[in-house]
Structure 1
Amino acid sequence: MAPPSATPSPGPRSVEPRLLRAFLAVADELHFTRAAARLYVAQQALSRDIRRLERELGAELFGRTTRQVTLTADGARLLPYARRAIEAQDELLAAFTRPTPEARPLLVDVNSPGLVHERVLARARELAPDCELMARYESGLTHAAAELLAGRIDASFGRFAGLDPAVRERLAQQPMRYEPMAVVLPEEHPLAGLDAVPLDRLAGETIYAGAGNPRTPEWTDLARRLFAGRGIGIAPPAPLAIGEEEFRRIMAKYRNPVLAGVDFPAMSGSVLRPLVDPVPLSPVSLVWLKGRKHPGIAALRTAAAQLAEENGWLRRPSNGWIPATDALIMMSRD
């Protein structure tokens, strides 16, 4: 008599959330060292967790060579399930967490000093005095989005349409402002004497718009869309300047006008002039991790809505310019 056939494995009975978080970190980074740093664990511990998850699932999740890490077909199949499971766990924990003054501070990226984002943060502090809302300065929504997904900050501001669609899927946003755009000019520039600079007067100019800065590709993309067909060039990458003194030094060295928002802080040796005919608009949203429940996030949302209403930030001028994809996103709300 032939022996009975082997009974198929019933599969894992449960999977620890820690193992799924380890998997998601490696899937996002495709690099074990960076993923370990993101999770604040040793690389050996992360590798053990991945091997354990693979054993429990009976599937190889990553292809590994000395040069690269790639998702296998099973890894790609697990990815959406793992994301939903971790989001559900985060929502569950948030629902049963009672914030107290001693709770972890909410970290809010306001991009750069002197911007209106600081006003939103100040209003939110008034609305939620028991929450500790701490400012951070990440400079660029693309970089800030990665920090949001890694859990290193809790909210940010910027051009949501400029993010990768896969990143946008994991984040929530609330439109806050159509910020008029401007140009920073050296004091001796021929256009510096104008009260406002018509876009067609920039034809033939080369404007710095953050090209090469990995933190702000959404801003460079907006500039390319604005300059297309207008004879305006984008300046090549320049050293990333942090702080007013470094910015002034780099601007004096390279002499290129700089694309900015109208709230860009005044700096000696240069002038800020609004752009007109048409008025280009930089769409600004408040952005946070989808499913994140916290009274500080609620306070930020209320503060952003209040200030937008008081200051007319969401009233789009009739002669305003904005890409169609951005316009659609600015009409939506999470």
Structure 2
Amino acid sequence: MPSPSSVDPRLLRAFVAVAEELHFTRAATRLYIAQQALSRDVRRLERDLGTELFLRTTRQVALTPDGERLLPLARRVLQAQDDLLAAFGQARPLLVDLNSPGLGTGRRVLERARALAPDCELMARYESGLTGAAAEMIAGRLDASFGRFAGLDPALRAALDHQPVRHEPMAVILPEAHPLAAREAVPLAALAGETVYAGAGNPRTPEWTDLAGLLFEGRGIRIAPPAPLAVGEEEFQRLMAKTGHPVLAVVGFPALPGTVVRPLVDPVPLSPVSLVWRRGLAHPALDALRSAAARLTAEEGWLRRPPGGWIPAVDDVTGLSHD
């Protein structure tokens, strides 16, 4: 590989994104740029270095030997640049996965963090599911997320840190025509004999499906079998209309057209939500995010459990009080 006089870090970021995704469209989405612009940046880097970095066909993208050689070097250069900027108060944006636009806990923490640290850039992502986000955090493509930490595989937990934020009351989304939709709240016993969708088969959310299994155990409630992953509100509505299954959710989740959201009671099941980040990550915006989470937890009493509140024993590690 010829020695260039200099390399633009922006071009290295484009290269690393494509090298990790092995897909130009996904890499462009990840970088929030047009695919044509990404392709131009990669071609320019190849021209500057005097070598091909990718083998491109109509079906796949693969690294060349020079691409394989460049990848660890590019990662080190970009990390050094991030460290330099952070040292002088110019930290890169902190990438925070909120899982879904409909989930309010992470969004409120992010909004408070932005108010606490207006000079820091915190960028939201909506990728859905802590297990999926955990892999991205470990790979360095994402910095923080929210979800059920105890539900992660131990190998993932070992590479991450977390801060309990909320025990969030759970709910069920029902089609408007469902017999239980007329109730203000749905006792768990009323779901006996029902089949409830809880994300089974979604590789990004096994921690949620596991929580549903623990909640439904011994109550006569079945988890709906895996279905094709519904991406987007329209597809999710179509899936609900086709199956008629209730959907496990949390109380703040907005109702979709043709559905209602009803809290679950007797007992009140609680979804444990932690702020999760890559172990060893140092970033001023992460400090703001942790501070925002701690303040909201204290102000809102998010970790207090209502009388009779249910939480899996594996998640109940805080020893917190009941209301």
Q: Same fold (TM over 0.5)?
A: yes
Instruction: Report the secondary structure of 2:180's partner residue.
Output: coil
Q: CA deviation at 1:239?
A: 2.2
Partner of 2:267: 278
C-alpha contact 1:196 1:275 (8 A) present in aligned 2: yes
Partner of 1:150: 139
Q: CA deviation at 1:44?
A: 4.0
Matches of 1:203 and 1:155, distance apart in 2: 37
Matches of 1:257 and 1:330, distance apart in 2: 32
Matches of 1:236 and 1:267, distance apart in 2: 22
Matches of residues 68-79 of structure 1 in structure 2 within 5 Å?
none
Instruction: Report the secondary structure of 1:176's partner residue.
Output: strand
Q: CA deviation at 1:114?
A: 3.1
Q: CA deviation at 1:310?
A: 1.5
Partner of 1:298: 287
Q: Report the AA paired with residue 92 of structure 2.
A: R
Partner of 1:26: none
The answer to whether structure 1 residue 114 and structure 2 residue 102 are counterparts is yes
Aligned-pair RMSD on alpha carbons? 2.9
Q: Report the AA paired with residue 115 of structure 1.
A: L
Matches of residues 1-334 of structure 1 in structure 2 within 5 Å?
43-45=63-65, 94=83, 97-98=86-87, 100-101=89-90, 103-116=91-104, 117-328=106-317
Shift of the 36–256 alpha-carbon distance from structure 1 to 2, 3 Å rule, reads closer
Q: CA deviation at 1:165?
A: 0.7
Q: CA deviation at 1:99?
A: 5.1
Q: Report the AA paired with residue 95 of structure 2.
A: L
Matches of 2:258 and 2:226, distance apart in 1: 22
C-alpha contact 1:173 1:285 (8 A) present in aligned 2: yes
Matches of 2:20 and 2:94, distance apart in 1: 24
C-alpha contact 1:192 1:273 (8 A) present in aligned 2: yes
Shift of the 95–270 alpha-carbon distance from structure 1 to 2, 3 Å rule, reads same
1:252-293 CA distance string (max 9 Å, x none): 111100000111112110110010111111000000011111
Matches of 1:156 and 1:291, distance apart in 2: 15
The TM-score normalised by the length of structure 1 is 0.72
Higher Rg of the two aligned structures:
1
Structure 2 residue ranges without an equivalent (≥5) = 1-18, 28-41, 43-52, 55-62
Matches of 1:321 and 1:152, distance apart in 2: 34
Structure 1 residue ranges without an equivalent (≥5) = 1-32, 51-85
1:222-266 CA distance string (max 9 Å, x none): 001111111100111122222222221211111100000111112
Q: Report the AA paired with residue 289 of structure 2.
A: L
Matches of 1:110 and 1:193, distance apart in 2: 31
Shift of the 291–197 alpha-carbon distance from structure 1 to 2, 3 Å rule, reads same
